[in-house]
Amino acid sequence: MSDTGGHDAGHDHDHTPPPDSSEGLGHYNVMEIAVRELLIDKGILEPGQIRAAVEAMDSRSPEGGAKVVAKAWVDSEFKARLLDDGTAACASLGIEMGPTRLAVVEDTSEVHNVLVCTLCSCYPRMLLGLPPDWYKSREYRSRVVREPRTVLREFGTELPDDVTLRVHDSTAELRYLVLPMRPTGTEGMSESELAALVTRDCMIGVTLPGVPA
């Protein structure tokens, strides 16, 4: 279970966990089993509810985020609401942020935004699904703060020198989503065609949305 507070407690944590306490199982595995069995024993949750929650979590993908971005590109009123209160705007599309708050940061011709969790792996899972391994790596977490332009270049993203790079450090309570600039040449495209250009990585800010062929 994630997104229940505490820097993605129990998931892919890079903080040094306590030593393994049971043959082959890590600290968080043991904790997960203990809490799950306790919840079932006490009659607070049924196994089916837990399974359904895990399934719902696993079913999240960057498509949710892409839908939000494409809608913001075509609907200026929605975009204004999204930038003002990302949590509420996503809820209006049926995407609940749970206990976390969402801040949407908009790219412009002057500013480009990039996301990181310097402490561990906090990530807008509700909108993007599970974070990629590189996002959780110590290398990305430390380097993107110090030398964002170099890191972006390694992703193949070259930005003009006069564009300011802003790096946003996610926390357990506050997750970010990048609203990239709508690519030129997409004027005639429908919302769903636009959504297909929006990738996970461009909503993290390490790449730009795909340009239609």
Residue-by-residue DSSP string for 49-98: HHHHHHHHHHT--HHHHHHHHHHHHH-HHHHHHHHH-HHHHHHTTT---T
Between 159 and 174, whose beta carbon lies closer to Fe ion?
174
Per CB under 5 A, the segment of 50-58, 71-79, 112-120, 158-166 that binds Fe ion is 112-120
Between 120 and 194, whose beta carbon lies closer to Fe ion?
120
Within 8 A by CB and 6+ apart from 80, the residues are none
Between 114 and 122, whose beta carbon lies closer to Fe ion?
122
- Pairwise CA distance, residues 124 & 100, whole Å: 9
Instruction: Tell me: does residue 117 bind Fe ion (CB under 5 A).
Output: yes
Give the SS3 label for residue 141: helix
Between 105 and 189, whose beta carbon lies closer to Fe ion?
105
The 52-91 site mask, x for binding Fe ion (CB under 5 A), equals: ----------------------------------------
Instruction: Tell me: does residue 206 bind Fe ion (CB under 5 A).
Output: no
**Antiparallel, parallel or unpaired: β 164-169 and 111-116:** parallel
Two structure tokens written together for 3: 């997104």
Two structure tokens written together for 107: 């790219």
Query: By the 8 A CB rule, do 210 and 201 touch?
Result: no
The residues that are catalytic are 117, 120-122
Per CB under 5 A, the segment of 5-13, 57-65, 106-114, 133-141 that binds Fe ion is 5-13
Residue whose entry in the numeric block shows the structure tokens 């380097």 = 143
Per CB under 5 A, the segment of 10-18, 85-93, 115-123, 177-185 that binds Fe ion is 115-123
Size of the site for Fe ion (CB under 5 A): 5
Instruction: Tell me: does residue 120 bind Fe ion (CB under 5 A).
Output: yes
Instruction: Tell me: does residue 130 bind Fe ion (CB under 5 A).
Output: no
Q: Minimum CB separation from Fe ion for residue 9, in Å?
A: 9
Instruction: Tell me: does residue 7 bind Fe ion (CB under 5 A).
Output: yes
Query: Among candidates 157, 145, 208, 203, which has minimal Cα distance to 178?
Result: 203
Residues that bind Fe ion (CB under 5 A): 7, 117, 119-120, 122
